[in-house]
Structure 1
């Protein structure tokens, strides 16, 4: 089993293999980043999933005719591993010249391989283009805070000290921003995202939240770990009765990653935003 991200295909020249090769998948343990947050697999304060959407899914029918579809993959947030994104793309490309009898046969293979890499059952849907097209484009719920005036000049690491709340006023609120940006910790490439915060707790100052989110702008971390850091910083400040944090990231290499973390059991919506 792979582990250290520096041994992954990220940032390295890669040969694209067009026939089924599950060994291309590169798992990365979540426990290292959980430890940075003072957590372990036994003390996670959230439930959730990571939704991956693949817009470059293709394979061959027995006749030799190619098929294109959109793949939706639901990885449990408690799984021991994330799957490194470039290895995921390389694996999916290895299906391009591989024959499957039908969608169901492909789905079974995807479920088996991705679950083995993640270390927990991964949900898979192979979706027709017309089905996804009919869903259209969605919007984040609640109030957008992006037009608020904030002053910030530090972007290298998240700054939870910027967050402020009114502990005497308990509210239920949903806020969102499209100004989240961070960098891949290996390649340095920017990751652009939109983030939503749904909570019941001490009233969060929206301008302070925006300044805090902007402070991620040059921070190097994976999508999942940025969302977990936001969740934990807000939980520490607000001591909420309920908290859900999720981000919808812009796709790179035909894949988008959308982590959801919540204190409550919930059904995550995987509807695309305008930048997706």
Structure 2
């Protein structure tokens, strides 16, 4: 899914940092204690933001079960989560990865081989408290590949997120035959173009500058970072995305015609429904 000769143009640290925070750090950063153990004997204990916590090894002095120690540590230390990782599990992860990875495959597929090796240990070699759904095991390579392969061939997909009048982050991804062959940002095309007056009016010009530079009309999406966070947190992302387009919380350039027709029909039926209710109320 990522080409061997991928072009990465002006991939700025600020752009990546903003996108990372939008995706993974929507609120207060999670605090955690990580325990590396061998058959219940602690080898190393660290806490995020504090470093090594060797004094916590005393919690394992009696014959308490590992799960009981982890649960008690969570309540007594006031952290969001406690992880217990067995040392043999680390070896098994690398052994499984080495036996399943195809080094001739694209880089994303190699990462998914590592993901599968890690997720196979969750619940056995890797325990956590409080327990939560294992989203890692549900994230499948074929799903991500299907998303990319559904994009038109030789497509440019652009995501631009605004904070007030400023471009908070922008990503332009080139896709060819389901393979990412370009990652860049607006900074590579229009250096210094960081502010706009009204992005809902000016998004056409932004998309136009990308088309002039690459010779391809981008499939572009524009929104503020509050809407982007709501999209990421939504449990019904397709519905949220459709409604946000309808309500113009998300603006799009070069949206495929079938989606434009659906949005048009949604606006028409919404208008008719509103008029019908208004007529009934007034009668």
Pairwise TM-score range, normalised by the shorter structure: under 0.3
Give the structure-1-normalised TM-score. Answer: 0.26
Give the structure-2-normalised TM-score. Answer: 0.26
User: Where is the helix percentage greater, Structure 1 or Structure 2?
Assistant: 2
Q: Which has the larger radius of gyration?
A: 2
Structure with higher RCO (Cα < 8 A, 6+ apart): 1
